[in-house]
Amino acid sequence: MLPNIALDQLLLLDIETTPATPTLELCSDDMQQLWRDKNAKTLPVSGNDETAWFDKAGIYAEFGKIVCISVGFFSVDNNRYQLRLKSFYGDDEKELLKEFLELINKFHSKHQRFQFAGHNIREFDIPFICRRSVIHNLSLPQPLQLHGFKPWEVPMLDTLHLWRFGDNRYYISLKLLTAVMGIATPKDDIDGSMVGKVYWEEKDLQRIVTYCQKDVVAVAQLLMKFKQLPILQEQDIVIVK
């Protein structure tokens, strides 16, 4: 599987997002009303506005923010694949986005067959990054200028879409896909639903970074499996500070 995909041309990524503020009342009056309008369309599933804010706002780029972007790069050393990890994180979303977008420009300039890779990045991570970048008035690198692309031209390798095998209605979580493929779960500490609490209440950003990096490693292991290659060992994974 994936005979035409060169692993060293891929930029693996995962993002972690939270509500933009710890409580709804800290938003402007206009944004509070806009959230109520948004939330009203999903009641009673979402519950009251305040509870829904903390639980759900982080999945919407208009009401959330990115607190971590982790990326991974494949390389070959002594005939073994290695994965190098780097994370952009902090309270200043604009700054971490600027650094990440600069990395995309550098990586794209060096790799002619550049593609993003991740799980559900087509529907979540990449659109979220683009929307938040536009909100911060940041210029999008060429690989993120996606208007006008035909579906098969979009430079993304999404493990969710790979697993669909043409069944566009099918959804599988990263946790389930790693389980059925015999790969260690990245959800052994927290999961996405807990990121807002860990960020705003526990103020433990490093815990979120570690979780985000585990998701990138999980995607890397899936790609090794899809290509029928030996999975990465602990010594094959390097975190770049």
| Integer angstrom CA distances of residue 157 from 34, 48, 73, 113 | 34, 37, 14, 12
Q: Which two tokens stand for residue 7?
A: 């692993």
**In this structure, is the dihedral angle defined by the CA atoms of residues 40, 44, 48 and 50, taken in order, positive or negative?**
negative
CB 47 within 8 A of CB 195: no
Name residue 238's beta-bridge partners.
84
Distance CA 212, CA 199 (A): 13
| Residuewise pLDDT in 10s, the chain (241 residues) | 888 899 999 999 999 999 999 999 999 999 999 999 988 877 555 567 888 898 889 999 999 999 999 999 999 988 899 999 999 999 999 999 999 999 999 999 999 899 999 999 999 999 999 999 999 999 999 999 988 777 667 889 999 999 999 998 899 999 999 999 999 887 788 888 889 999 999 999 999 999 999 999 999 999 999 999 999 999 999 999 8
Domains of the chain: 7-20+63-239 (3.30.420.10)
CA distances from 222 to 32, 85, 108, 162, 195 (A): 41, 16, 23, 10, 23
Q: How many helices (H) and strands (E) does the chain have?
A: 8, 6
This prediction has a pTM of 0.94
Which tokens in the block code for residue 120?
């559900």
Phi first, then psi: give them for residue 166, nearest 5 degrees: 90, -10
